[in-house]
Every structure is written in C-alpha cells, then in structure tokens.
A and B are shown apart, each in its own frame.
Chain A
Amino acid sequence: MEAIFFQILVGLSTAMLYWVVSVGLTFIFGVTRVLNFAHGSFYMLGAFFALALFKWTNSFVLSIALGSLAVGVVGLLCERGVIRFTYSLPVAFQLVLTFGLVLIFEDLVRFIWGSVPQMIRPLGLGVVTIAGRRFPIYSFVIMGTGLFLWIILYFLLLETKLGLMIRATISDIELAMANGINPHLLYAFSFFFGSFLAGLGGALTLPMCSASLGMGERIIIYSFIITVMGGLGNIKGAFMSSLIIGISESLCAFFMPSLTIAISYVILALVLVVKPEGIYGEA
C-alpha cells in the first residue's frame, strides 16, 4: 500500500513536469489554433539556454528564469517570422511547417553545443523520507512550480483584462476582433507565453537529467497526448490528463514494467474512442 502511495507521489512529480510543458502547447492552440510541433524544440532550447546561463551566472534560479524567457523570445520570433503567415492554411500545413522548424532547431543546437549531452552539477537539495522511501526535494520544486502555474493561469484567465481578451479570442475570434482586440498582438503573446512554458519545462529538467539532442521529440509526443486527451485548447483538461498520464505511467512501472512503453497510448486511444473531443471537450 505504501509502495503504491509512493508510486503515485512519484507520478505526480512527473505529471507536473508534463503539465508545465503541455499547457504551453494547449495555450498556443487555444488562442491561435496552431498545433505547434516545434514546442518540443523549445523545451530542448530551454534546457540548453539554462545550461549555458548556469555556466555563466552559476545561479540556478537566474538561469531558469532568463533561459525560459529567452525561449519565449525565440517562440515570439518564430511566430512573427514564419508561423503567422500560415494562419489561413489548414492545421496540417502548420504541422509540417513547425516540423521544418524542429529540424532546424535540432541542428542549430548540435552546431552550437555539439551532440554530447550535457549536465549541470546537481543542486544538492537532498531528499526527504516519505513512506520509508527517499524522495528528492527537487521534485517538490517541480510540483510547486506546476501548482503555482495552475493558480497563475487561473488568475490570468479569470481576473485580468488580458485573460478576458484571451477567453474572448478562444471563444470567438471574429467577435473579439469586432470588439477591438488586436488578434495579432494576442497571437504573438500566446506564442511568447507558450514557448516560455516549454522553455521553463526544459530548464526545470536540467537538475534531474541532461540537456541533449532529441529531448524535444520525446516530450512533444507527451504534450500532444495530454493536450488532445484533455480537449484541445482546454487548460483544465491539460491539467487533468497530465495527472492521468503521469500517475498511470508511474503505476504501470510498478505493476507491469514491460508495458510502460505503451500505457499512455492505450489511455489516449481509449479516451479518444469513447470521447473524441477529450475529457473536458474542446475550448
């Protein structure tokens, strides 16, 4: 019983990382209706930026903050430079365009940082003992960030004028435009914010694992699964499905380790076949 509890706790920390990254994708989709395949690349960039900044500033908090902001700027530049020209095209074209961006970012990173995965020294936050097992304190940092983000997003969407604009745009773009909302400003902001979150996720993983090529490809699939499962563009849905995927993977690793590879696809397929619009429906 204790083991299962611990496994769920471990799953929670995984889930929160998935949530931070995939809510960025969800947010971008909700506002712009673009499925951004390059989101994973932004995640990778977040890790590499933070790595470079850490070597320079030697401060983890500073490098995470600056690194993810820098990724936000890269996202903004991509949107202004390339993606915005494809808003009028069907979703599939944007997928292919952002796939092209993925290829470009992969090689740029390889060119700048080389292909050897890199690590920073561990933060040395230590562990706490829960249910007779050791649990890294850093995982609490990730969980805290995730929950904090949840609160911030709620605040942002419900209480601020920007949130109102965003909700208006999500529900009806034409009406929003008629009411004097400049959608391009909002699109640009959503890409900045979404990419910032991807970068934040990437930077947050740095003390746990390494900055490596191809790390974006692994996370993008999870982000897609979570975004689709929760309901495209639905932030609440993204939160719930992050939890489902994170915890079920963790439990699967305990009960049926050899099936962990497929569990998230099984869940996704089941959810979609029963409820194609996702758990909470499309925003």
Chain B
Amino acid sequence: MREAIEARREFLKKLGIVGAGVVVCGSLGLPKAQASSRKRLKDKIKIGHIAIFSGPFGTYGELQKRGSMLAAEEINKVGGIQGSKVEIIYKDSRAKPAEAVKQVRRLVESEGADFIIGIDSSGVVLGVAQVMPELKKLLIVTHAATHKLTEELVYKKGNKYAFRLSVPTYQDGTMAAITAAQLPAKRWACVHPDYEYGYASWELFKATLKKLRPDVQFVGESWAKIGTTDFKPFISSILDKKPDGIHTVEWGVDLFTFVRQAKEMGLFDAVRYKDGYAWINPMGYSIDAMEALKKEYPEGCWVSGRYLWQYPPTELNEKFVKAHYRRWGHLPAYSGATSYTAVYLIKHLIELTQTLDVETHIKTLENLAIYSPIGEMLIRKEDHQAIYDVPFGQIKHDPKFPIPVLKNFLGMPAYMYFRRPPFTETPPYTGYPPFMSL
C-alpha cells in the first residue's frame, strides 16, 4: 500500500509537481494508536455540509449525506480526529445561492463549523466561495462542477479558500468528447438542461471533439428547462436533424424522464452503431438514475459520473463500497464518495498539520496527493482542483447486481484532459490517445 503511494508520488514528481504530502482518505488510514497519541485540538470538530435537501433535486443532498455521515461514523468509531468527535451539520441550500450563503454564515459564525463541504449547483458554489475569504474557513466542494469556480474564482481572482474534490465540467465536456471521438458517429446533437452547466458542457464538448475529429458535424441543439416532464417536443425536433450521436448532460429526475421518453420515441435507435449507442451521458451513471431506470437504460450507452463505484479497482474503494452498501443498502453515488473523501481529507489535514489554522491548511492542501476510494488525486496548486480521472463505460445489465454495471471502460489520465492553467488551450494535451489500461 505504502509503496503504491510512494510510486504515485514519484510519478507526480516526474510531472514537475512537487507534492507537499500524501494522505490516505478512507478506512485504511493511519493506525489508531498513532492518532490518539496526539493532543486534542478541540472538543468537537464541526463540519457544515450544505446540499440540496428539498425539492426535485433533494436526492442529491441525501446521496451526499450518506457519504459524509458514513465517514464521520467510521472516524468517530476509532476515536475521532485526535480524540475530538466529528460532527456534521447538514443544511438545505434549496438550490438558492442567497440561502446557501446564509446557511454558510450561520454554520461558521453561529454554529461554530470549522469546515464547509458539499454544495450542488454552480450558481450556489460561486456565491458561497465568494464569502469564504471573509469567513476564513475552508470550502471543499464535492459536487458542483462549474469550471468557473477553479478557473476564474481561484486561479484568476486568487480566492484561496475554495477547493474541489469532484471533477469539473471537463468530465462532462472534454472527456465526453474524447469518448465520442472513438465512436463512428459523425453527426452530433445535444439535449441539455437549459442553464449554465448545459452550455458549458456543450461548448467544451464541441471544442474538443472538433479538435480530435475535424470530420464531425454538430447538427442540432435542444435546451429543455430544468423540471421538464415532457421531452417529446425536444426529442422529435432533435430526431428531425438526423443525428447519429447524442451528447446529453441531463441529470437527476430530468434524466429519468428523458431516457424513458427517448427510448419510446426511438432516439436511441437513431444513434445505434454496431457495438452500442453513440449516446454520451457524462452524469448518466448516477446511482439515483440507475436505481430508478434499471433496465430501462439501454445496454451499450456511454455513461460516466464524477466517480464510479467500480473504479478504481483498489482495495480502498472496495472497502468503501462495501461499507456504504452495508450502512445504507445502496451503492455509493459520486457525490457520496466525494463527500466521504472530503471528511477523511479534513481528518488527515488536521492530523498532518496539528492545527485548525486555515492558512496552514490551504498551504498543505496545495499540491497534496490524496489516495482515496475515488482514486489517486492531486490537488493542483493553481486552481485548487483535485486532479483525478473517471473513465466512461458502457452500460451492461448484470443480474448479479441490483443496478446496471459498466463495461468497456474508456479512460485517460486526468492531467491529459483536465484543462491546465492558464486555461486557454483546449485539451486533450500531448500524446493523444494514451488510454489507460483498466
């Protein structure tokens, strides 16, 4: 185990990135005795967890809660963080920036939270990240994907208090396009939710795909507002453009509706090729969608997430998935895994630095390599983005599992497809395509 981490660190060093340290996030952490021998910093370490708990996307709060609560329970079972119990306070952001900011202020200023984690949507994360310097606490984002957070707020404007453990829209746009480039489809169309996340993903997708495959065409766009219950008008207008590939970043309850209606109206059949469907749905492998749709999601579609429970095939991940399943009766969702990692990251951060001083924490986190259930990550210094890769895979219905699984993983090292400072060039970078052998 140790060796693996060291090897990874060597590898990162070769890239020219000097890691300040390596921490292991997960139940394989430092031995108990070593931890409790150190001094207690505080009676209770309080972590404020902000997510959407009400309304149509209330699921996402629930999924995150499973992760962070599991981590807190595991940590508390072995004596907490150097003897201090971890307490997680959950707050509902209602997907409204102003409400989330209010909750963050309350968590920090009134309820004594030491860290803030969570946050689901891009508008909310931009609003919250902005007040963190004033509050002088760390924000660890575990779901919101907007690259504006890391590229603009952190890198360009120098907001040092926000970090992100989940993949940004590079997964939804760039990696999606890299996957798309491997498929025979040439006429791509999109069905996206009508807001920033949809636009950003589609723009990245188009730019990357055009670079890799100058022969493709983008034939149609469809923008369905969040909460659409009837996708038929959008599907039929897209069908009319005769696409042979579909890129969609629909998620949550809209995805369920969309897949069901697309199947009925033959959108999948339109994008069929010999080995599956030219159907790229970056957030398709979300546990809620898989549990709801099950076999309705056609086999052979290309989907991904911000983490997949099957990947990486490490001992740490396996332990996490099993623990999660035991505790909740569900497989872990991507935002659950990132929240789990975030809580462990906080534990190790405190143990590593022996302080609650936020400036020290920031310095330590920058260029920190993390070994977690999600995989090996490096927190990039410039933009505070955790760099890790998540592959795409094809849906496969396997009776052994309660939900569909993924096959034929297609992945690439994250440093090749994550945009790099100063964020002007379109990935993928050098040496395309060195796919990872999985």
A residues with a Cβ closer than 8 A to B are 3, 6-7, 10-11, 13-14, 17, 106-107, 110, 114-119, 121-122, 127, 133-136, 138-139, 205, 208-210, 212-215, 217-219, 249-251, 253-254, 257-258, 260-261
Contact = CB atoms under 8 A, between A and B. Distances in A.
Given A119-B260, A122-B296, A254-B240, 10 more contacts: A7-B233, A14-B233, A106-B55, A115-B59, A116-B292, A117-B288, A119-B293, A134-B266, A214-B57, A260-B224
Contacts of B230: 13-14, 17, 208-209
A4 to B, nearest CB: 10
B288 A116 contact: yes
Interface in B238-296: 239-240, 252-253, 256-257, 260-261, 264-266, 288, 291-293, 296
A258 B194 contact: yes
B58 interface: yes
B292 A260 contact: no
A22 to B, nearest CB: 14
Contact of A119 (B252, B256, B264): B256
B225 interface: yes
Interface residues of B, number: 39
B62 A116 contact: yes
B257 A209 contact: yes
Interface of B: 53-59, 61-62, 194, 221-225, 227, 229-230, 232-234, 236-237, 239-240, 252-253, 256-257, 260-261, 264-266, 288, 291-293, 296
Contacts of A117: 56, 59, 252-253, 256, 288, 292
A119 B295 CA distance: 12
A134 B264 contact: yes
Given A122-B296, A213-B56, A250-B233, A208 B240 contact: no
B53 A115 contact: yes
Nearest to B56: A214
Nearest to B237: A254
Contacts of A13: 230, 232
Contacts of A133: 236, 239, 265-266
Contact of A209 (B57, B256, B288): B256
Contact of B265 (A106, A134, A249, A261): A134
A219 B228 CA distance: 10
Given A7-B237, A14-B230, A136-B264, A116 B291 contact: yes
Contacts of A258: 194, 221, 223
Nearest to B235: A10
Given A115-B58, A217-B55, A253-B222, A210 B292 contact: yes
Contacts of B194: 258, 260-261
Contacts of B296: 119, 121-122
A104 B223 CA distance: 32
A110 B237 contact: no
A135 B261 CA distance: 10
6 contacts: A122-B260, A208-B261, A210-B253, A210-B256, A213-B56, A257-B222
Given A6-B236, A110-B54, A213-B56, A208 B229 contact: yes
Nearest to A13: B232
B288 to A, nearest CB: 6
Nearest to B224: A260
Contacts of B224: 253, 260
A9 to B, nearest CB: 9
A121 B294 CA distance: 10
A249 B221 contact: no
A25 B109 CA distance: 45
Nearest to A142: B230
Contacts of A136: 232, 261, 264-265
Which interface residue of A3, A107, A117, A219 has the most chain B CB atoms within 10 A? Answer: A117
A254 B233 CA distance: 7
Nearest to A14: B230
Contact of B240 (A3, A110, A213): A3
